[in-house]
Amino acid sequence: MMSRPRPSVPKGRLGKTMGCLGCLQLVLGVLVIIVSTLSLFRFYSAGFLSNDGDICRHFYGTKDVSGFDINALSARVGEVLDKMANLQEKLESVVRQLEKNKDLAKADIPRSEYKKFLEEEVIQPLYSAHIGLRQIRLPKVEGIRNSTLKEEPLINSFVVEEIRKYITPKENKNGNVNIYGIERVYNTIGHSCILLKKELEEYMDYDIGSYCKDDWPLAQKLMINGCDPVPRRRCLTRASKLYKKPYPINESLWKLPDGGNVRWANYKCRNFECLSSKNPKRGFVKCTGCFEMDKEKLKWVGNATLPVDVLIKDVLAIKPGEIRIGLDFGIGTGTFAARMREQNVTIISTALNLGAPFSETIALRGLVPLYMTLNQRLPFFDNTLDLIHTTGFMDGWIDLQLMDFILFDWDRVLRPGGLLWVDRFFCSRKDLDDYMYMFLQFRYKKHKWALSPKSKDEVFLSAVLEKPPRSL
């Protein structure tokens, strides 16, 4: 077969093409110079080119700079410069090939290919370098409350923006101390252990094979502040000297456990009677009556008094026989799980010992406590749970981006057709639209959606939402 002759390109077009590439090279060269100059100016103004060598003092005005990672920051700068150098080298190589290619005069360059070349080989690398430059964070003199840094120093160890957003501590929306007793929530990938070096070393300082110190609050502090999972230890856990076997399951669900089965040393109270809602010095504020079984028995089964009240029987009626396993994400002594157990539904309850023995109480009632914080990825596989219930814990103090990460994780573990039961979530009226969007963004089917005033400035929201199939 005879080869089809290629259409020739007029010399004028070739000249225009070469002219465009030449102009493009000139423009990119100027951009490289500008970006490089701005980078040098930025680091000069920050003190990186100072002769005195005490760069960190320029940042802080103090010698306390233990948290800042110069090597990580230098690596980020090097990445940006490498991207710009690679882009310039690639463009120069293309221009050289065009100059040497004698067949160019016989070829026609389609507009779509020229556009694709600009987008993939020029614009995207240039944009990536630009974003990389903007993401380089320098510590500031002014700090956040008690911190000496404007942001966490280890953020510059990571390049991908989503990781950086994830590990950036999320400040409480109302600016107050949250339920954990901290001002910010640290999502966990283990990096925060570097910032808690003293506490972590104290936690791991023990005699191998002997009894561990009664230091579970230290481990919990590490978890809450993002150093999680904490290391395993080779020491023996202490137990109460008065420990007795727990009550049988037909009694334990609605009977307060024996106080001798709890180690009380790290609580303000030394017995369950002290944890009564009548005692203002009991050591915690959330779940005021959750150690009083006569009050707990009324939850989720009594008559609804507000539009936001949802009963267990109404939720189970949405999916008869389909709700078998689930998670109760909140704070309490396992009453929701106890009620669901009566309906042959297995519920795991998240629990931290925030001022009282919540985890021990849940277990002594014959239920399953999951000792984890709000900043952890749920330890369940994708599409496995029938139900997630949350109440009294994740309220209007929570940062919106942190809430976004949490809800996407809940969505991950809920099976198609699974239910998300948001129970009496409350926030300020001015923030309501933001929080409602967070719940509605997944386009779940609404089975229940109700609002009710909590106070003059706050409002309750309850919802029962069904995850869509999303078949691929």
Residue 219 predicted with pLDDT over 80: yes
Consecutive H or E run containing 89: helix 70-100
Q: What percent of the chain is modeled with pLDDT above 70?
A: 76
* pLDDT band at 52; cut points 50, 70, 90: very low
Question: 370 forms bridges with which residues in the sheet?
Answer: 350
pLDDT tens digits along 223-273 = 998 888 888 999 999 999 899 999 999 899 999 999 999 999 999 999 999
144 or 194, greater pLDDT:
194
Question: 421 forms bridges with which residues in the sheet?
Answer: 389, 464
Cβ(337)–Cβ(349) below 8 Å: yes
3-state secondary structure of 464: strand
Q: Between helices 11-46 and 124-135, what is the axis angle to 10°?
A: 10
pLDDT score at 97: 74
- Per mean pLDDT, which range of 173-182, 347-356, 370-379, 413-422 is the poorest? 173-182
Cβ(330)–Cβ(350) below 8 Å: yes
- Per mean pLDDT, which range of 9-18, 108-117, 294-303 is the poorest? 9-18
* pLDDT band at 285; cut points 50, 70, 90: confident
* pLDDT band at 297; cut points 50, 70, 90: very high
CA atoms of 125 and 83, how far apart (whole Å):
7
**Mean pLDDT across 321-350:** 96
For the chain, report the end-to-end CA distance as a whole number of angstroms: 46
pLDDT tens digits along 408-467 = 999 999 999 999 999 999 999 999 999 999 999 999 999 999 999 999 999 999 999 999
Cβ(217)–Cβ(177) below 8 Å: no
